[in-house]
Chains A and B, each alone.
Chain A
């Protein structure tokens, strides 16, 4: 199977750091994407990890461990505009099948 799990909801305070975890079944995936989706809008690309390790891009970083089937998205210096759903998505080895997790709805409070 190709299940992806994420926490449903998270709450954090403006200026803080938050880590959103994603776990998946290790067989069949060749890379992991993170997307941000504001309510009523299309998902927008945040990061793509195909190798193990940490990828840093400004306030956002993403980590992947392929052997453990584990990824996380780290958001630093949280801003109110970061309130959104964060989607973790696995890509199969042929790039044919993208499997999205249920999304984590993050609320940033003042």
Chain B
């Protein structure tokens, strides 16, 4: 059984650019949630995908968008990057959408210059 994986590990972009982050869920899990974690703070919920459909969204602007594929892997896309988007982006997978335990990936560290 493989765990949650994310790519890339680190990424440097400039303001205004677009970025795509990827996540492979743990085997057997059909739900993926994305979080943004600024340094020294708790993760902030971005959105959740269940069986390829968005199943909830936090307080993030529309330039944060996502996809979930038939194999339950997922992408997070951020357009028009801002300096404040610099953070650790965490992906977590779980089974079902009823608040089950979430398993986190190692994260992608995004730096916007």
**In whole angstroms, what is the CA distance A102 to B104 when docked?**
17
Interface residue range, chain A:
20 to 34
Number of interface residues of B (CB under 8 A): 24
Chain A contact residues: helix, strand, loop or mixed: strand
Is A94 a contact partner of B56 (Cβ separation < 8 A)?
yes
Is A95 a contact partner of B42 (Cβ separation < 8 A)?
no
| Residue in contact with A98 in the complex, picked from B102, B105, B106, CB distance below 8 Å | B102
Is B90 a contact partner of A42 (Cβ separation < 8 A)?
yes
Interface 9-residue window, one of B11-19, B65-73, B77-85, B93-101 = B93-101
Is B43 a contact partner of A87 (Cβ separation < 8 A)?
yes
Is A97 a contact partner of B56 (Cβ separation < 8 A)?
yes
**In whole angstroms, what is the CA distance A6 to B103 when docked?**
22
Is B107 a contact partner of A98 (Cβ separation < 8 A)?
no
For A35, the closest partner residue in chain B by CB is: B104
| Residue in contact with B99 in the complex, picked from A31, A35, A41, A101, CB distance below 8 Å | A31
Given A30-B99, A91-B99: A100 touches B106 (CB 8 Å cut-off): no
List chain B positions with a Cβ less than 8 A from chain A. Answer: 33, 35, 41-45, 48, 55-56, 58, 90, 96-107
